[in-house]
Structure 1
Amino acid sequence: MEKYSVHKIFKWIGSGLLVLAGLLVVVIIGAYIIYPAEYVSRVLRWQDADVKDYQKFPEAVIDNAPPVYQFEQDHNEAFVRDGFETALAVDDLELFLEDTGTQAFIVIQDEAILYEGYFNRYTRDSIVTSFSVAKSFVSTLVGVAIEEGHIQSVDDPITDYLPELLERDAQFTNITVGDLMHMSSGIHYVEASFLHGDDAKTYYYPDLRTLALEETRIDGLPGEEFLYNNYHPLLLGVILERATGVSVAEYLQEKIWKPLGMEYPASWSLDSEDTQFEKMESGINARAIDFAKFGRLFLNNGGWEGQQVIPAEWVMQATQRDTSFENGEYYYDSFIFEDGRGYYQYFWWGLTVDEQTYDYMALGNHGQFIYISPEKDLIIVRNGERYGADTLKWIYAFYDFARAFPANE
């Protein structure tokens, strides 16, 4: 009887597994019917995003140009180690950086490199990827396009540039360019990484233009609440290429990469060879030292070696807290917003220090950071294979480390 019961149990288990396998096959077949085959294959094969994804996607090359800008050297590793070991509550900074999957860690203060370290077999010329740090580049290109007259204003309705949206819903005309950069458009978004989720769609879809223009829908009013939404940079990418007449990668190359004297060329991952649209929500692939130069551009209020690359007014507008948004009503009550100091402005995350001063950062998946403290004339770049520690631990370590410096006169 006991043997029979065990056999029966295993038979039930086997039958259950067969049913589950059959359901999975049905789901996958259904997915291939509903979605483009390339999209389904990417989700199933590649699964979660990782820092080597730039090797999987096609790319647009972003060339650099002489003269190459070189930071001054004022290495003070002991000061940086002591400061971060205190801020992070660790005994050994280098061991912590190694164990957390850090690829590059750079600290620049008063125009000079205090610390530059590479870990986990990465070196100065290793490619690291931006993930959502790319969004801060996107909003900067919008600022350049406004300065050049290609886009009139952040208050322009997006339908001025994307009129086909009106054919689906007249409410799209209420959304402005600024609403997209505030992450407050009212466009529907569900953070999920499997096939039906918008995270997966906006990352792996092989035609991101069509996805943004035809699959977006509105379920709220613009300006009412913050909702992180990867359709926003996609829509801005279409606006930029239509308004400027060139690809977004080429615009970045000519307006930022070359003028800043980047040390290395870069690339921007594309959705597919067929559509050749930049992965606006993520995919800038470069070297950490060149990401630091983007931080220097903002630290210097858009100026670069005597040239005003982006308007100083844009730097202020893009990074300062917009006090018209009430924290308790507009933001959710977690992450950087929990204690009331955090804010989000034009694809930059910010932390208020007091009524007059603030730090801000570009932030990407797996712990990519360009952290800027204007008060302390400080830039911190961290790239990583993974977060390795809680995101807020990194952010508040940067914040606390910055407070150790005297204010920049």
Structure 2
Amino acid sequence: MTTEKAATMSDTGMFSGAPQHENFPRLKDLMPSSHMSPARATSQFPDGEPTLPPAQYDFDGQRKSSEEFFVETDTAALLVLKDGRVRHERYALTGGRDVQWISWSVAKSFVSALVGIAVHEGKIASIDDPISRYVPVEPGSAYDGVAIRHVLQMSSGARWNEDYNDPTSDIFRLSAAMSGRSTLDHFVATMTPESAAGTVCRYNSGDTQALGALLVRATGRSIADYMQEKLVEPLGLEAPGDWLCDSVGMEMAFAGLNLTARDFAKLGELYRNNGAWQGVQVVPEAWVKASTRADAPHLAPGRPILADHTLELGYGYQWWLPDGDCGEFCAIGIYNQLVYVDPSRGVVIVKLSANRAYGTSMDEATNREMENVAYLRAISRSFA
């Protein structure tokens, strides 16, 4: 692991409008990473009746073209499962069935699943414990005395700015810790508090990095090693996987997971089935239920804050919750990575993208996050 290798991520021109589809499958080769092998016994989704997505979808009072949206957001993979069967699978640009793609913040939902498993195993006594009982932090810093529950819900109270259009924002400073000038653990240990924990849901990648540190301290294992045993093997992941790391080997918990579309889909299918996989309870059912609901007013749709605006999405334990009564939930990453789950219709959809306009502003017009949810909702509802 060299500083030169770690620094290459800053050379990709992210958030500048530059195309990224050549970079996103190969970040694992440009940066230090922890490797995960395919499962010893892999599992494949069976095929169902091929089904084309609807030609149009509705967003913001307009009828829009699905094909234009697919192209405009630089989509590399679209995988649609209905009742566990593949109904539609399409790859473009540099995507492919065997191509690993960077998850960005979809990784957060995998970290949440691993925390739930660690709680079930007793490695974490309670999510009402202060995270500082497990993770060394400076006295008076953001995570000193803050309950793990509030960190899971992006409600730690830490000061944070996740503005992708501001090179001085906290998300850029967190990414800079990957370069070798600092470490991810040091960044977490020295963050600054701003508001009372459990009162404001402010989207904060630092919170997920703190959860990654929690996993490592509580289990005595790296995130990749723990995930290999607790998710890769039980779910039968078919392809190799990698976590991007900092210069001392700590995984980039908030965004560094690289998997194929089909292997990303397995987390969605696991959660659609309340944490069970082929008759085996991999993640406790109670954890899945708690993770995919907003249990306080500040977590309800319209309340979570991203940079300088609120989102019409609620928040659970590192899962986004679209407004409505269907019980949908999503893992969402920058540049339009999504694992969308609609249990009411038995649907799981993965969309991997490299939307080149993403982060050139913090507006929906460029980032198109709510439009992606509307697009995937339209696909899901076409099965009704």
With normalisation by structure 1, the TM-score equals 0.80
Q: Aligned pair 1:220/2:195, yes or no?
A: yes
- Paired with 1:278 and 1:326, the residues of 2 have a C-alpha distance of 27
Q: Which runs of 5+ in 2 are unaligned?
A: 358-365
SS state at 1:107 partner: strand
> Residue type of the partner of 1:66?
R
Cα distance change of structure 1 residues 70 and 41 upon mapping to structure 2, 3 Å threshold: closer
Question: What whole-Å deviation, never above 9, does each CA across 1:323-369 have from its counterpart, x for those lacking one?
Answer: 4547499534997744xxx2011110012422xx3210000010000
Q: CA deviation at 1:381?
A: 0.5
1:197 corresponds to: 169
Of the three residues 172, 176, 180, the one matched with 2:151 is 180
- Paired with 2:251 and 2:6, the residues of 1 have a C-alpha distance of 20
Q: CA deviation at 1:168?
A: 2.6
1:211 corresponds to: 187
Kept in 2, the 8 Å contact 1:336–1:343? The answer is no
Q: CA deviation at 1:96?
A: 4.1
Q: Aligned pair 1:106/2:75, yes or no?
A: no
Cα distance change of structure 1 residues 201 and 67 upon mapping to structure 2, 3 Å threshold: same
2:377 corresponds to: 399
SS state at 1:169 partner: coil
Question: What whole-Å deviation, never above 9, does each CA across 1:231-256 have from its counterpart, x for those lacking one?
Answer: 11111111111110110111111100
Question: What whole-Å deviation, never above 9, does each CA across 1:122-141 have from its counterpart, x for those lacking one?
Answer: 22111211000000001111
Of the three residues 265, 268, 272, the one matched with 1:295 is 268
- Paired with 1:353 and 1:241, the residues of 2 have a C-alpha distance of 36
1:16 corresponds to: none
With normalisation by structure 2, the TM-score equals 0.85
Q: Aligned pair 1:236/2:211, yes or no?
A: yes
2:361 corresponds to: none
Cα distance change of structure 1 residues 387 and 367 upon mapping to structure 2, 3 Å threshold: farther
- Paired with 1:54 and 1:281, the residues of 2 have a C-alpha distance of 15
Q: CA deviation at 1:211?
A: 1.4
> Residue type of the partner of 1:48?
M
Of the three residues 255, 276, 279, the one matched with 2:230 is 255
> Residue type of the partner of 2:220?
G
> Residue type of the partner of 1:402?
S
> Residue type of the partner of 1:401?
I
Q: CA deviation at 1:97?
A: 2.0
Question: What whole-Å deviation, never above 9, does each CA across 1:265-299 have from its counterpart, x for those lacking one?
Answer: 10101112xx1000011011111111111111101
Alignment length (residue pairs):
356
- Paired with 2:99 and 2:5, the residues of 1 have a C-alpha distance of 29
Kept in 2, the 8 Å contact 1:87–1:401? The answer is no
Cα distance change of structure 1 residues 263 and 135 upon mapping to structure 2, 3 Å threshold: same
- Paired with 1:234 and 1:120, the residues of 2 have a C-alpha distance of 31
SS state at 2:56 partner: helix
Cα distance change of structure 1 residues 231 and 168 upon mapping to structure 2, 3 Å threshold: same
Cα distance change of structure 1 residues 245 and 152 upon mapping to structure 2, 3 Å threshold: same
SS state at 1:205 partner: helix
- Paired with 1:100 and 1:329, the residues of 2 have a C-alpha distance of 24
2:330 corresponds to: 361
Of the three residues 131, 147, 150, the one matched with 1:158 is 131
> Residue type of the partner of 2:304?
Y
- Paired with 2:108 and 2:117, the residues of 1 have a C-alpha distance of 14
The structure in which a higher percent of residues are helix is 1
- Paired with 1:44 and 1:402, the residues of 2 have a C-alpha distance of 37
